[in-house]
Structure 1
Amino acid sequence: MKFNTLRPRRLRLSAPIRNMVCENTLTVHDLIYPIFVVSGNCIKEEIPSMPGCYHLSVDQAVKLAREIYDLGIPAVEIFGLPTYKDDVGSSAWDMTSPVQQAMMAVKKNVPNLIIVGDVCLCQYTSHGHCGKLCNHYVDNDATIELLSKIAISQAKSGADIIAPSDMMDGRIAAIRSALDRNGFQNISIMSYAVKYASAYYGPFRDAADSAPQFGDRRQYQMDPANSREAMKEIDLDMEEGADIIMIKPAMTYLDIVRQARDRIDRPIAVYNVSGEYAMVKAAALNGWIDERQIVLESLTSMKRAGADIIITYHAIDAARWLQK
């Protein structure tokens, strides 16, 4: 039987050969671990829909931050449950709130760990939407003024990167201007430039108590059917000064990541979101899959599609597996 004399299998014969010709490499330096902080002390309560993830008081968040840093993970993104909510989400920029307190404590105790601050209003508003309401409509321009206040409060608390996740038009320019005016020219912005109105966020809304009290978020988050619109959002946020572009969710939107990678030269982040994490965890806990292999394969696929940074709840496990 005759066939082409080029045999691709020659380069798959052994682990050393496979490693030598590997096209994409996942490393611990690619990862960001999200944490959820709450008020109180000595609190570590597992989130039911996200096994292995916890609500942490500030002291416990600092303890985890040290562990994360020792594993080689370079960054955490800090989310929080406020002690109070109102119609404009004013606890989001309250310097006594759990997020700001956690940022200050982590920066003091683990100074070389990068802190990413999520800038949004959904978990802080009594209505659960991502901005200031006018009747049942989120007022875009009024909201970006509030987002700028959050960004400044987080920068003052020690955030190294500000990550607006609200999907308001023009918020990157507004936040960049506010940071610069207040002496934070060196704080980076990682824009949730492409955030789809996805069902994969369900467990996060449980973790952050951020489900909307009415309607949904389709008036500001993107239609999952659209890809050209995603490129428009990326272009706009880059023009406004975003340093890093994020695409969310990750696994079911890798085509968008690939299109973005072919289009832009700035760093691209993906968010391997709570629903993606919960499905893998549930299957693993039932013994249906090999969790280690599934997680590392999934994260590698995000790198292959073009992501430079991966925000994932699997980060701690992945860091340990990558060391072996």
Structure 2
Amino acid sequence: MKHLQFSRHRRLRQTANLRAMVRETHLHTEDFIYPLFVVDGANKKIEVASMPGVYNLSLDLLEAELQEIVDLGIKSIILFGVPDEKDEVGSGAYHDHGIVQQGIKLTKEKFPELVVVADTCLCEFTSHGHCGVVENGQVLNDPSLDLLAKTAVSQAEAGADIIAPSNMMDGFVAAIRYGLDEAGFQHIPIMSYAVKYSSAFYGPFRDAAQSAPSFGDRKTYQMDPANRLEAFREAESDIQEGADFLIVKPALSYMDIIRDVKNNFTVPVVAYNVSGEYAMVKAAAANGWINEKEIVMEMLTSMKRAGSDLIITYFAKDVARWLKDN
């Protein structure tokens, strides 16, 4: 044995403090963007059945939620809206007094330092649940762009700091960038859902946002989960059209794509830790099968290690508490 030569990797793992000294990847509260769902009405705090701890909130209860978020040190939220009324063209998405616009205004009035990301899509507001204009059972690309640009401008007028279009129409970044610039919002960045797969992991979100398609699916505009090279084409075109951030969604099954995007583009990369990923952890933890804190911290650390600069996650408040306790 005395003649054997081999590396002593365990030397740097002997104690907790030593491991912390050489740790390569760190989670910070500033890394997280916390999703919020705002709804019409009053005194509503309705837990999403498939997402324990996530609520649909009416505006009169939003301020208390925002105060908790700010107190935890979370710097950014992303707002989704669930209106009482929907129509064929999703007019509630771009109405000056739409539920998202009201949520943005309230947030910026009460907590001006909080970064507000506005999800820019039509699916929560259309009666058919698709992300664009529908004609004869088909989702029309170009007519949808005008409505998406109108939505982005109305959100910017309400005070949104970042526009995050999630619809996956071809040319959506170009249309929104043009619309924002023409309206005098050249300074507002676009956080594009550039690489958004047609995923089964979105199911619980559609419960929360009441946005499931009434017919068909979204496979004609969201990406095939089997494709990798297509992600490069999507991300590259969005950069050329003016995207300032690139989102990869979902995160957990697409770590390779997060790394690809990070390696090939210089803008910040955002991972979306989606509803199905959240729900699976919550269900397993509720059954006592896993240690929720350890699983969540490992999962989010792996997303950061894969190349994410920011993470949209429903776990943000939990992790902020855990990081404070450490």
TM-score category of the 2 structures, normalised to the smaller one? over 0.9
Quote the residue 2:29 is aligned against.
Answer: 28
Contact 2:92 2:99 in 1 (8 A): no
Q: CA deviation at 1:5?
A: 4.3
Q: CA deviation at 1:6?
A: 2.6
Separation in 1 of the partners of 2:94 and 2:278? 29
Q: CA deviation at 1:53?
A: 0.3
Instruction: Give identity over the alignment, percent.
Output: 57
Quote the residue 2:211 is aligned against.
Answer: 210
Q: Cα 1:16–1:86, aligned 2, differ >3 Å: closer, same or farther?
A: same
The residue type equivalent to 2:187 in the other structure is N
Quote the residue 1:151 is aligned against.
Answer: 152
Q: Deviations over 1:34-74 (max 9, x none)?
A: 01011122211111010000010112122111211111111
Separation in 2 of the partners of 1:120 and 1:78? 11
Matched residue of 1:173: which SS? helix
Quote the residue 2:188 is aligned against.
Answer: 187
Matched residue of 2:213: which SS? coil
Separation in 1 of the partners of 2:124 and 2:183? 26
Separation in 2 of the partners of 1:196 and 1:53? 23
Q: Deviations over 1:153-183 (max 9, x none)?
A: 1101111000000000111011011111111
The residue type equivalent to 2:165 in the other structure is P
CA RMSD of aligned residues (A): 0.9
Segments of structure 1 that go 5 or more residues without pairing to the other structure are none
Separation in 2 of the partners of 1:186 and 1:63? 30
Separation in 2 of the partners of 1:131 and 1:5? 60
The residue type equivalent to 2:290 in the other structure is I
Q: CA deviation at 1:23?
A: 0.8
The residue type equivalent to 2:115 in the other structure is I
Quote the residue 2:130 is aligned against.
Answer: 129
Matched residue of 2:73: which SS? coil
Q: Cα 1:3–1:205, aligned 2, differ >3 Å: closer, same or farther?
A: farther
1:109 paired to 2:107: no
Q: Which moved further from structure 2: 9-18 or 230-239? A: 9-18
Q: Deviations over 1:271-304 (max 9, x none)?
A: 0000000000001111111000000000000000
Q: CA deviation at 1:97?
A: 1.9
Quote the residue 1:178 is aligned against.
Answer: 179
Separation in 2 of the partners of 1:94 and 1:308? 32
Normalization by structure 1: what TM-score? 0.98
Q: Deviations over 1:81-106 (max 9, x none)?
A: 11211111001011222211111001
Q: Which moved further from structure 2: 60-69 or 226-235? A: 60-69
Quote the residue 2:242 is aligned against.
Answer: 241
Contact 1:37 1:99 in 2 (8 A): yes
Contact 2:156 2:188 in 1 (8 A): yes
Separation in 2 of the partners of 1:3 and 1:140? 66
Quote the residue 2:291 is aligned against.
Answer: 290
Structural mapping, 1:1-20, within 5 Å: 1=1, 2-20=3-21
Separation in 2 of the partners of 1:147 and 1:62? 28
Q: Deviations over 1:194-247 (max 9, x none)?
A: 000000000000110100011000000000000000010000000000000000
> 4+ runs of 1 displaced by more than 4 Å?
none
Contact 1:35 1:61 in 2 (8 A): no
Contact 2:33 2:78 in 1 (8 A): yes
Separation in 2 of the partners of 1:226 and 1:262? 17
Separation in 1 of the partners of 2:216 and 2:42? 35
Contact 1:62 1:102 in 2 (8 A): no
Separation in 2 of the partners of 1:289 and 1:308? 27
Q: Deviations over 1:120-146 (max 9, x none)?
A: 111111111110012111111100100
Matched residue of 2:266: which SS? coil
Separation in 2 of the partners of 1:101 and 1:6? 60
Separation in 2 of the partners of 1:93 and 1:292? 39
Q: Which moved further from structure 2: 8-17 or 305-314? A: 8-17
Quote the residue 1:52 is aligned against.
Answer: 53
Normalization by structure 2: what TM-score? 0.98
Matched residue of 1:179: which SS? helix
Separation in 2 of the partners of 1:240 and 1:110? 31
